[in-house]
Amino acid sequence: MFENIRNHFPFFEKKPELTFLDTAASALKPKLVIERVNHCYSYEYANVHRGVYKLSNDLTEKFENVRIKTSKYINAKSEDNIVFTKSATEAINLVASCFSEKYLGSGDEVLLSYLEHHSNIVPWQIAAKKRGFKIITIDVNKEGAIDYDDFANKLNIKTKFISITHMSNVTGTIVDMQIIKKHAKKFNIPFLIDGCQYIAHAPVDVKDLDCDFYVYSGHKMYGPSGVGILYMKNKWFDRFDPYQGGGSMIDKVDFINTTYAKGNQKFEAGTPPIAQVIGLGASYDFISQFNLQKIFYHEKELYEYAFDKLKSFNDVNVIGDSKNKGAILSFTIDNMHSNDIGIILDQHNVAVRTGHHCAQPLLKKLNLNATARASFGIYNNKNDVDHFIEAIKETKNFFKK
Ligand SMILES: Cc1ncc(COP(=O)(O)O)c(C=O)c1O
């Protein structure tokens, strides 16, 4: 099913020698997306939601069609539940800010897990400083999996919000959302799922998840950078005050009193990421040609192939060996700094991410400062893994010299 997949990606025409293993940071772009963005800027471009002229109206319709595609992709009730932001980071900031202003104060608690990316930690800390609530952390075990008993034990009447990743960007751990949902519902606690690492690799159904918020970024699902997606349950649209003020989000403005637009427009102040949203639409078209479950197994097979080979080196340590995980492989090599590993791998045409992966609390918890991380996408294959393993051998030899 994925034999000819690279034909979709112009990148490989120019750089066939490169093994790209950094999809978790940002995915390469298929022709469909690149050409769609190019076409939009070349022939369709005008501002949206503003013009009375045909060019603007036509692009507004196409822009709104992507909202419909988004709602279908994640099985939301309606496109009205979708807010476009500039990134997943902005989407989480929006929720942390709007929710905390209305509902959080001293004595309240927000639960986050140790698996979180800084994007799902720092916005809550900023809000906590202003509002005086406490952040409580859900533990992870040494395999990098959530400690669900710890989660259950930390829930209490002070818990007012849960914000948790669907899949860790460091260990690939997939969080069992049915457990999170069960407990959240029992205490009637709203919860947000950070789907950045999950969205392009397995099906997402927000009706089944029954989460209040689901966020992800376009660039991690083969779409353009500069667009984030925030799914919100209906009730929050009226309950939240606007996150930002400006054009588009208003009903009537005067210096005495301004009234706001309703629904998602209230949260989309200013000119939106127009061409990025149009490109995002093409990324749904691209992924939807394939079966998401098959994408997951394809990538997972590569992960397991790489995992077994890496395990055969006694000085290589794979980080986070939890049962339920996606195709993200973090590792260290004894007596080598991860940045050195990344640099030598690059000299052998293998691109991996190195460092703390914007997850310093998790690394600290696992007694690490940094790791190297190989992450897989739809375009990877077994040759990539073989190349990666050969490059690891070269890296080890380099440091032995
Ligand atoms: C799990 C997770 N959450 C949030 C983010 C932030 O995404 P963005 O930088 O696109 O806003 C990332 C990015 O790496 C991520 O991996």
Least confident of 47-51, 141-145, 395-399: 395-399
* pLDDT, position 399: 75
Nearest-atom index, ligand 1, CA of 25 = 14
Q: Which atom of ligand 1 is nearest to the CA of 358?
A: 14
Question: pLDDT value at position 47?
Answer: 96
Q: How does strand 328-333 pair with strand 316-319?
A: antiparallel
**Quick one: pLDDT at residue 3?**
87
Protein residues whose CB sits closer than 6 Å to any atom of ligand 1 = 87-89, 117, 119-120, 165, 169, 194, 196-197, 217
pLDDT over 90 at 26, yes or no:
yes
Distance between CA 332 and CA 257 in Å, rounded? 58
Which is the closest atom of ligand 1 to the Cα of 88?
11
Distance 229 CA to ligand 1 centre (A): 12
Average of per-residue pLDDT across 78-95: 98
* pLDDT greater than 80 at residue 41: yes
Mean pLDDT across 214-219? 98
- Pick the residue whose CA is nearest to atom 14 on ligand 1: 25
Partnered with residue 351 across adjacent β-strands are 20
The answer, as to whether pTM is greater than 0.95, is yes
pLDDT value at position 38? 98
> How far, in Å, from the CA of 218 to the mean position of ligand 1?
10
Strands 371-375 and 228-232 come out as unpaired
58 or 1, higher pLDDT: 58
Mean confidence (pLDDT) of the chain? 96
Question: Quick one: three-class SS letters along the chain?
Answer: CCCCHHHHCCHHHHCCCCEECECCCCCCCCHHHHHHHHHHHHHHCCCCCCCCCHHHHHHHHHHHHHHHHHHHHCCCCCHHHEEEECCHHHHHHHHHHHHHHHHCCCCCEEEEECCCCHHHCHHHHHHHHHHCCEEEEECECCCCCECHHHHHHHCCCCEEEEEEECECCCCCEECCHHHHHHHHHHHCCCEEEECCCCCCCCCCCHHHHCCCEEEEEHHHHCCCCCCEEEEECHHHHHHCCCCCCCCCCEEECCCCCCEECCHHHHHCCCCCCHHHHHHHHHHHHHHHCCCHHHHHHHHHHHHHHHHHHHHCCCCEEEECCCCCECCEEEEEECCCCHHHHHHHHHHCCEECEEECCCCHHHHHHCCCCCEEEEECCCCCCHHHHHHHHHHHHHHHHHHHC
Which residue's CA is minimally distant from atom 12 of ligand 1? 196
Annotated catalytic residue, options 40, 98, 211, 358: 358
Average pLDDT over residues 182-203: 97
Please give the number of the atom of ligand 1 that sits closest to the Cα of 91.
Answer: 11
Q: What is the mean pLDDT of residues 248-265?
A: 96
CA of 119 to the centre of ligand 1 (A): 6
Cα distances from 94 to residues 76, 123, 213, 228, 313, in angstroms, run: 19, 9, 11, 11, 45
Q: Considering just the CA atoms, what is the radius of gyration of the chain in Å?
A: 22
Report pLDDT for 365. Answer: 94
Report the separation in Å between the CA atom of 326 and the middle of ligand 1, taken as the mean of its atom positions.
16
User: What percent of the chain clears pLDDT 70, i.e. is strictly above it?
Assistant: 100
Cα 360 to ligand 1 centre (Å): 14
What pLDDT is recorded for position 231? Answer: 98
Say whether 196 is catalytic: no
The pLDDT, as a whole number, for residue 323 is 85
pLDDT, position 275: 98
In degrees and rounded to multiples of 5, residue 305 shows phi and psi of -60, -45
Mean pLDDT of 250-269: 96
Atom 15, ligand 1: residue with shortest CA distance: 196
pLDDT at 401: 64
Query: Given ligand 1 and candidates 217, 230, 280, 360, which is best to mutate, with the most ligand atoms within 8 Å of its CB?
Result: 217
